[in-house]
Structure 1
């Protein structure tokens, strides 16, 4: 199957310049300055990593009884990603299916579950669509991201609907007062990007403002339809701030927005204009009552995603979904060994637009939960219970139970069991002439066992998990029905090593996701995946190399998708302390592959940019 696209006129010169710079430095780095590289990485590793997604409270990542991965700002700059998908593609047991390049829609499958079984948050705000249930990650620029926390496995007992396969929480940039940066990049397919950010101090607080604009002529995402390039143009902004009112009360706020347009191949429609935003205001109040430290967090927020569908510039339809969100969570620390979190969440979905003649256009969901964590010598225990009431659907009770044992400082074993659910979307329930208002929520139960240890100087972990999903919603010629049952089994192996010139990170995963009625594998999930990442520093240069292997998959109609291998490179060079040259080579060996049947992927691509920052 031929996926080749056009070659840009400037590709030859740009490819020679970037490949020569990256390759020559990469060759030298494996043998030079090894001691410095290892020393720096050891210092970084000793920094305590605090996460909030796994328990909805600040906790050391090594104390949470769940599988977690954190992609921080330093890693993002090292990788030089074009999209958020570039950051997620090497995570174990995450499969990506893209309908073309960055401007097109992309689906994320975590641990074999469906693409709408992963809850996606921005600073605590749900951003999935109430109509489709999906989340468009391609409109969000990595330039706006401070870090990403990925929790693998069910967390519905803490977060409610959607968190069957896991949770992805994206945190926006935080700049100190007086910090600023600006940058520009060019690349293949006439790619252009401009970004800037500034931190503003105000009393005992600060506000960060980050702006990003990017556009590209794109490439032809489907060979057998319109023979033209399918480009895109997006502009994004993020405003994140915090103010310490007094020693007990802190306020923080967020506003993100992205708008733009993307072209695609289609008979009835070939362009989509998007306009999305999210905001929140949050109060954090800390008290000490009877030697119990309490932190109470009250949040009000909203997200909206709107899309207009066009054909050659003529409006064909529009969709708009809005979600008002409220939450109140209290974290009580009774001692170093005992903590309790309790909370309530409420959100209101509202659907409108020219093509939304649904029977129902509004829905309220309310959830209440309690979560406890106990440490006793080398043992740790976790329990979570949650009740959700979804208007016009049903109520759900979900829970998590976990236990861990620390053999030593660097070795532990964890066993956890959890349930999850996914409420049917407005499309499932009320889509004109085909929705099914009698649908029930999808329900899952999962068990996981994992072991983490350090062997010599190699950090390793191995994970085994099994998930059953019942009442899975599937669309047939008669509409959506609760009839599918899915059984998923998987294993993951992760190893990290500091030495031989830099950081070496390897992971491999096996996922068997089978429909129990047809005994066929679920579409677009690979049974076998592996990745290897190498990063190092030499003189004023940071070098990054990435290898991905994705095994065979099936797609709709029992179409077989071939396995593929991709190599990506990243390069940063400090011309001076404040000025950096950055580059990326995507698909270095010009691999021909597809992640969704009928949709092309980008051929070999090159990006070159410069960034100035005063911090």
Structure 2
């Protein structure tokens, strides 16, 4: 019997091809030279011109050899695409659906392959980041200027990364020093009194490598909430933000093949938002205060990587991630998450093309603040193994992991995948795996809501993909099916039947989900013209009711064209987001057109302009919230090395 996901593929392809062919076809997933203009650092013996990734197997491998569905977003793409934020870059090039409570600087959710925000692992330089209370990383606190490249593994990966890798893994890599001293700087101004500035240095000399950057952004913004919202939170004042991000990396190589490094990143975000508070003595809603969120995030890490012998490479990392938030109007509430992480990983080369990865990872989490005065700590010990093998035209990848958590017990997950080169240009991929999402601290312990006996969500998935590469043309198609049970959600029970006595509703394992979809990516270059696109179709439903899961668009497309005849460059990106259910009625579809141009008037200097939301579309990213209208930017960029 044909699998239901496969039966859906021909129809999805027939719908997608007219959109794709309109731009002469797309951008690649597992072989993306257009995205990989600056790839991950090459492993020893690997050509530096060949895109290399880490996220697929936790060890460096050529992107073209990956069995998993991986997208690499390179440094040049991040710099030249005109993307307004990390979230926008992930939406354009990796197909993530973004839910943001207002304009830039506001809290952002992200849906990878239709899973919830807390079902995707986010890492910076190998350090798991994000709030353990909310179960998500604060992309709104990140700056594109600090990032070297991003790797996105699309699909379950708990077999290597443990809890929360139901939708996939996003690995963000900050800049690392290479070669002679380099200085870069950038300043820009835009509508809504928006400002951007950043400066960075990097290089390597005498066994040392170094990189440091500092960025500051601000904007007046618009009111985050629309008039006549359902909860009466609208306040006509502008809700802007200020953000400062600093990062530094230092490494020392005492012997060839051995490197010791330290890194640190700190971000401070001050953003305004609309809400209401209910204070004594009358406890009536008051939306007039100036509500603000003061968020500080920090990541520090020390690491060692050494080639012990030709067969054995070992890596050690000790890291700490902190999310410290103070938010509110007249009264501020504080939430602080501390996460300490230790990872020991070993790569064993059994034979040419045969590698085993063995590792241990310990994560200890603690939440402090006004609400969580008595919340317990929790620790997780994870043991994982991975295998990668090549057998002529065939490749195999396998993973197995056991996680023992003090709060919700032991879970074992794994994955198995294989690929086969049908020809020199066409490769077939197939993967299957299990995954789970851990309850957040809010789910377990929030007073009047959390339930300490909550079970983790569990998923089972299969996917089938095709990758095609021919000269400067690339394309891929992936069809997937993911069953998730024990979905964690809000249970409105107030009788004490499923929620504790005295609760007016609680967190509970309320449902099951079936998520199916088709992802198409690709690219084509004709002389100075490059064309790129991502097209995603999604059917995410509650298996008990048959209803679509909230805030998931049935389709999303991003189509880009860039023309660079010399010192000039012009480009455009069209992003279309389909209708999606949200609260009592669906939100309509919308399309955004972004334009960009640049002029390199000297080898090291470039003048840049961009026009975001060129058609001034009224965007409602989440029910009752609004994004920015048309926004014009002009900026100046300096690079000591030139472009």
TM-score, structure 1 normalization: 0.90
The root-mean-square deviation of aligned C-alpha atoms, in Å, is 1.9
Equivalent of residue 324 in structure 1, options 340, 343, 347? 340
Q: Which residue of 2 aligns with 1:21?
A: none
Q: Which residue of 2 aligns with 1:381?
A: 396
- Give, in whole Å, the separation in 1 of the partners of 2:102 and 2:145: 22
Q: Which residue of 2 aligns with 1:297?
A: 315
- Give, in whole Å, the separation in 1 of the partners of 2:267 and 2:91: 22
Equivalent of residue 185 in structure 1, options 184, 188, 199? 188
- Tell me the CA shift for residue 542 of structure 1: 2.4
Equivalent of residue 127 in structure 2, options 121, 125, 136? 125
Deviates more, 1:470-479 or 1:436-445: 470-479
- Tell me the CA shift for residue 476 of structure 1: 2.2
Structure 2 CA distance for partners of 1:211 and 1:84, relative to 1, 3 Å: same
SS of corresponding position for 1:76: helix
Does 1:210 pair with 2:213?
yes
Q: Which residue of 2 aligns with 1:220?
A: 223
The answer as to whether partners of 2:528 and 2:565 remain within 8 angstroms in 1 is no
SS of corresponding position for 2:159: helix
Q: Which residue of 2 aligns with 1:258?
A: 267
Q: Which residue of 2 aligns with 1:337?
A: 353
Could you list the per-position Cα deviations for residues 53-99 of structure 1 after superposition, in whole angstroms to 9, with x for gaps in the alignment?
11100000111110011111100111132210120122354211110
SS of corresponding position for 1:85: helix
Q: Which residue of 2 aligns with 1:86?
A: 88
- Give, in whole Å, the separation in 1 of the partners of 2:211 and 2:94: 32
The answer as to whether partners of 1:319 and 1:353 remain within 8 angstroms in 2 is yes
Structure 2 CA distance for partners of 1:42 and 1:222, relative to 1, 3 Å: closer
Q: Which residue of 2 aligns with 1:12?
A: none
- Give, in whole Å, the separation in 2 of the partners of 1:309 and 1:71: 33
Could you list the per-position Cα deviations for residues 92-113 of structure 1 after superposition, in whole angstroms to 9, with x for gaps in the alignment?
5421111011110011001111
Structure 2 CA distance for partners of 1:500 and 1:521, relative to 1, 3 Å: farther
Could you list the per-position Cα deviations for residues 302-345 of structure 1 after superposition, in whole angstroms to 9, with x for gaps in the alignment?
0000011131xx44211100000000000112222200000000
Q: Which residue of 1 aligns with 2:366?
A: 350
Could you list the per-position Cα deviations for residues 411-438 of structure 1 after superposition, in whole angstroms to 9, with x for gaps in the alignment?
1101100111111111100111221001
Does 1:464 pair with 2:490?
no
Q: Which residue of 2 aligns with 1:407?
A: 422
Deviates more, 1:330-339 or 1:435-444: 330-339
Q: Which residue of 2 aligns with 1:563?
A: 589
Q: How many residues align?
A: 570
- Tell me the CA shift for residue 272 of structure 1: 0.8
SS of corresponding position for 1:48: coil
- Give, in whole Å, the separation in 1 of the partners of 2:77 and 2:271: 28
Does 1:195 pair with 2:198?
yes
Unaligned runs of at least 5 residues, structure 2: 1-22, 24-32, 39-46, 228-233, 278-288, 493-504
Deviates more, 1:407-416 or 1:510-519: 407-416
- Tell me the CA shift for residue 482 of structure 1: 0.9
TM-score, structure 2 normalization: 0.86
Deviates more, 1:194-203 or 1:402-411: 194-203
SS of corresponding position for 2:171: strand
SS of corresponding position for 1:74: helix
The answer as to whether partners of 2:363 and 2:380 remain within 8 angstroms in 1 is yes
Unaligned runs of at least 5 residues, structure 1: 1-29, 31-39
Mapping of residues 144-293 of structure 1, within 5 Å: 144-176=146-178, 177-199=180-202, 201=204, 203-224=206-227, 225-268=234-277, 270-288=291-309, 292-293=310-311
The answer as to whether partners of 2:37 and 2:75 remain within 8 angstroms in 1 is no
Structure 2 CA distance for partners of 1:258 and 1:405, relative to 1, 3 Å: same
Q: Which residue of 1 aligns with 2:600?
A: 574
SS of corresponding position for 1:424: coil
Does 1:590 pair with 2:616?
yes
Equivalent of residue 450 in structure 2, options 435, 438, 446? 435
- Tell me the CA shift for residue 457 of structure 1: 5.3
- Tell me the CA shift for residue 125 of structure 1: 0.5
- Give, in whole Å, the separation in 2 of the partners of 1:151 and 1:572: 32
Q: Which residue of 1 aligns with 2:502?
A: none
Structure 2 CA distance for partners of 1:167 and 1:127, relative to 1, 3 Å: same
Structure 2 CA distance for partners of 1:197 and 1:562, relative to 1, 3 Å: same
Mapping of residues 26-175 of structure 1, within 5 Å: 47-91=49-93, 93-175=95-177
Q: Which residue of 1 aligns with 2:231?
A: none
- Tell me the CA shift for residue 361 of structure 1: 2.8
- Give, in whole Å, the separation in 2 of the partners of 1:175 and 1:285: 18
Equivalent of residue 396 in structure 1, options 411, 436, 455? 411
Does 1:510 pair with 2:537?
yes
